[in-house]
């Protein structure tokens, strides 16, 4: 196997691994919803936008015939749909978002996973010389860096109700 082929296979594997890791961060929210039977500190928008994003990328993967894009986005769409259904089940009304100077409602693990996933997909698209993969992942890098900045500026409170890496 040539050097570019090995590097591309490694990068494809990294994209899959980081993206599945990012999708799995919602499992802690799912467990929280099941345990508390509420959506008190869970945000709905990330589930919805990621699900729509997965469906769009799945369509592109099918058109392009890219197995990496197809597999990852089928898994992502299924998981995000599950998270949405659980959210709707446990949400008697729309959750209210209160703007505070606290990162307690931000998921640190999702921020790191999004950064790794978006970065690996951008590099993957760059290696393939495919701006349709590279460019849409740049906002994920930028917003992750902004969220990391917020974690630095407003460190999470250290109490029993919140853990930095929620499990």
pLDDT digits (tens, 9 = 90+) for 7-59: 888 988 898 899 889 888 889 899 999 999 888 878 888 888 888 889 888 88
Cβ contact 154:101 at 8 Å:
yes
Better pLDDT: 101 or 37:
37
CA atoms of 33 and 90, how far apart (whole Å): 7
pTM above 0.85, yes or no: no
pLDDT of residue 75: 93
DSSP conformational letter for 162:
-
Phi and psi at 84, nearest 5°, equal -65, -45
pLDDT of residue 159: 38
Question: pLDDT band at residue 164, thresholds of 50, 70 and 90?
Answer: very low
pLDDT of residue 97: 56
């Amino acid at each position: 196997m040539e050097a570019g082929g090995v590097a591309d296979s490694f990068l494809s594997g990294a994209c899959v691994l980081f993206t599945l890791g990012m999708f799995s961060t919602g499992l802690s929210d799912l467990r929280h919803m099941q345990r508390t039977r509420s959506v008190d500190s869970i945000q709905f928008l990330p589930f919805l936008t990621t699900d729509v994003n997965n469906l769009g990328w799945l369509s592109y993967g099918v058109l392009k015939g890219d197995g990496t894009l197809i597999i990852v986005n089928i898994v992502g769409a299924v998981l995000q749909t599950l998270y949405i259904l659980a959210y709707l089940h446990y949400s008697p009304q729309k959750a209210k978002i209160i703007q505070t100077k606290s990162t307690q409602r931000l998921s640190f693990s999702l921020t790191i996973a999004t950064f790794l996933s978006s970065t690996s997909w951008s590099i993957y698209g760059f290696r393939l010389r495919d701006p349709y993969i590279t460019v849409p992942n740049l906002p994920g890098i930028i917003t992750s860096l902004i969220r990391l900045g917020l974690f630095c500026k407003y460190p999470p409170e250290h109490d029993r109700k919140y853990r930095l890496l929620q499990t």
